[in-house]
């Protein structure tokens, strides 16, 4: 009986150590996974910021072109108002 008790304690100790090792492995995996997703999120936000900046530049260039056409007399006051943001949708 003594041998069985000693064997049981060693086995339980080994199983507990293995379980802790398993938890540690899962925790390390989850930490790495979270870090990877955080990096993906940051890259995605950078891409969105770049797209928004590009679209804003395109809009400013369009407005500038329309104002230039107005100054050359090629478009009328109604379009000039739209470019300046004064026109209202009806």
The average confidence (pLDDT) of the chain is 83
* Domain locations in the chain as residue ranges: 2-83
Taking only the tens place, the pLDDT of each residue in 41-50 is 999 999 999 9
Taking only the tens place, the pLDDT of each residue in 5-53 is 665 566 667 767 777 788 899 999 999 999 999 999 999 999 999 999 9
| Integer CA distances (angstroms), 44 to 10, 31, 41, in order | 51, 20, 5
- pLDDT for residue 66: 86
């Amino acid at each position: 009986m003594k041998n069985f008790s000693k064997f049981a304690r060693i086995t339980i100790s080994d199983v507990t150590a293995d379980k802790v090792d398993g938890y540690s492995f899962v925790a390390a995996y989850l930490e790495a996974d979270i870090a990877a997703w955080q990096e993906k999120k940051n890259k995605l936000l950078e891409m969105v910021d770049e797209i928004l900046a590009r679209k804003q530049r395109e809009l400013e260039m369009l407005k500038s072109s329309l104002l230039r056409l107005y100054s050359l007399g090629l478009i009328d006051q109604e379009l000039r108002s739209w470019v300046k943001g004064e026109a209202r949708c009806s």
